Amino acid sequence: MSNLTDLTIASARAGLDAGDFSARELAAAHIAAMAEHKTLNTFITETPERALADADAADARRAAGQVASALDGVPIAMKDLFCTEGVRSTAGSHILEPFVPPYESTVSAKLKAGGSVMLGKANLDEFAMGSANITSYYGPVTNPWVAGNGDNRQRVPGGSSGGSAAAVAARIAIAATGTDTGGSIRQPASFCGIVGMKPTYGRCSRWGIVAFASSLDQAGPMTRTVEDAAIMLQVMAGHDPKDSTSAPYDTPNFSEKLRSGVKGLKIGVPREYRVDGMPAEIDSVWQQGADWLRDLGAEVVEISLPHTKYALPTYYIIAPAEASSNLARYDGVRYGLRVPGNDLKEMYENTRAEGFGAEVKRRIMIGTYVLSAGYYDAYYIKAQKVRSLILRDFTSAFEKVDAILTPTAPSAAFALGEKQDDPVQMYLNDVFTVPASMAGLPAISVPGGLSAEGLPLGLHLIGKPFDEVTLFQVAQALEDAAGFEARPAGY
């Protein structure tokens, strides 16, 4: 039997069903990996006792012939943006350091009801704001990958779901939850050499997920295979009356067409994604991806998404605007940190000055500015109009193609400490992922190959709204063609 921490969701289920090992043994192996790789700082709160209790319950269900879902007994990491009943939920922020939710988010409740085993709460950028997992109050996460050319500098895992991505890549968890507002699942998946999938906006309930930008936030799976992503999303998705933006649609069988191939499908390659200064190896992995799909029988066509270059500036108006509104709730009164002041206003100001980190303050202030009297039309309404144009671009493109192929990120994982001084430079990490977010479209990052330095590079597929089935179908073909077997040395 292979190492228990090398299993996928699918192979773990098969092994559990066959009685090759118990859920408790599976949990114990991952708890040991969590302890061994503590220096990666992938978790803010570890819950090994909870994991063992979950595993025992899974074993009891299986013995009674009552397996709850395909995830029953599978150890996962939960991004610390999901509120978990009785387990501290910090959002990576000092301001929520003492917060223990008395309720469970819908997505984590579904995963719990599905029998998954929670190893702990995964580290993330503070309030999911960041692309390198360096803004967490609980310290940065280290990517288990290092360059293969003797450059031993520690790499960032990407962000904001950096703890989730690093835990899956380092074989600490079989899978993890992520959330994606502008690329926070897909970009770290690319940096860590795993699969990260953002469903259509509305596919998963946002209820109980600490809000960042409510018109963009969406939960999704982070796994080591496309098949696992489809299996995990099956458990996470579904209409929820507690989230008014949750889509009132039936959940399809996401695995339905995994083995159908791509013959006859049309794949669009948007010419506007060929940005100035794009590294040659990003262009070449992208070209390689298109060639693979063509070789498998898909028709690859060039398309135009004319407003692509405006997606990122649009995002940096809309997301901060929504964040400034959502984060107004952290006032030192109802939960979280309180820093005293001479009066109520000073108490608010002191609490928020001490409780929020620099990036969060930056976005709250930008958001406050673009929503303030005299600037609202010029910035916020303007951005909402450009957002309509971005959506329109995709709508017309999808009249011609079934899915769109792009690179996931403009680089491989960079070293800890790089790009830290210039916020706009950091924002450019999400240049390829943000447009799909603005349009609410499903998208997935699949490992495409290694950079010259030996670091993973992701390929990004964007699908039609609520057509995750086709997205998984194309992603599976890409994964099969790429045959990505590389793993971080020592993990």
Partner 1 sequence: MALDQATVARIANLARIKVTDDELQAWATDLSAIITFVEQLDEVNVDGVEPMTGVGDFPLPLRVDAVTDGGYAEIVTGNAPEGALGFYTVPKVVE
Tokens of 245: 């933006």
Which residues, 390 to 409, sit near partner 1 by CB under 8 A? 391
Which residues, 256 to 295, sit near partner 1 by CB under 8 A? none
Which residues, 219 to 258, sit near partner 1 by CB under 8 A? 241, 244-245, 247-248
Among 139, 385, 417, 452, binds partner 1 (CB under 8 A): 385
Residue 109 interacting with partner 1 (CB under 8 A) = no
Nearer to partner 1, 134 or 457 (CB): 134
Catalytic residue, chosen from 89, 116, 136, 184, is 184
CB of 424 to partner 1, least distance (A): 5
Residue 159 interacting with partner 1 (CB under 8 A) = no
Beta bridge partners of 403: 267, 463
Residue 353 interacting with partner 1 (CB under 8 A) = yes
Nearer to partner 1, 10 or 81 (CB): 81
Size of the residue set binding partner 1 (CB under 8 A): 71
Residue 384 interacting with partner 1 (CB under 8 A) = yes
160 in active site: yes
CB of 23 to partner 1, least distance (A): 31
Tokens of 116: 């998954």
Catalytic residue, chosen from 22, 69, 79, 161, is 79
Q: How far apart are CA 112 and CA 254, in angstroms?
A: 20
CB of 308 to partner 1, least distance (A): 12
Q: Of 148-156, 420-428, 453-461, 481-489, which part binds partner 1 (CB under 8 A)?
A: 420-428
Nearer to partner 1, 63 or 365 (CB): 365
Nearer to partner 1, 45 or 368 (CB): 368
Contact letters for partner 1, residues 451-470 (x by CB under 8 A): --------------x-----
Among 159, 199, 202, 447, binds partner 1 (CB under 8 A): 202
Residue 362 interacting with partner 1 (CB under 8 A) = yes
184 in active site: yes
Contact letters for partner 1, residues 69-108 (x by CB under 8 A): -----------------------------xxxxx------
Q: Tell me which amino acid residue 71 is.
A: L
Tokens of 386: 């450009």
Catalytic residue, chosen from 160, 161, 164, 205, is 160
Q: Please choose, from the candidates 390, 384, 371, the residue with its C-alpha nearest in 3D space to the C-alpha of residue 439.
A: 390
325 in active site: no
Nearer to partner 1, 114 or 336 (CB): 336
Residue 410 interacting with partner 1 (CB under 8 A) = no
Q: Please choose, from the candidates 218, 216, 217, the residue with its C-alpha nearest in 3D space to the C-alpha of residue 204.
A: 218
CB of 170 to partner 1, least distance (A): 32
CB of 361 to partner 1, least distance (A): 6
Residue 333 interacting with partner 1 (CB under 8 A) = yes
Nearer to partner 1, 238 or 341 (CB): 341
Nearer to partner 1, 351 or 406 (CB): 351
Tokens of 170: 């380092």
CB of 315 to partner 1, least distance (A): 9
Q: How far apart are CA 49 and CA 73, in angstroms?
A: 14
Residue 310 interacting with partner 1 (CB under 8 A) = yes
Q: How far apart are CA 368 and CA 317, in angstroms?
A: 10
Among 127, 427, 432, 472, binds partner 1 (CB under 8 A): 427
Residue 423 interacting with partner 1 (CB under 8 A) = yes
Just list the catalytic residues.
Answer: 79, 160, 184
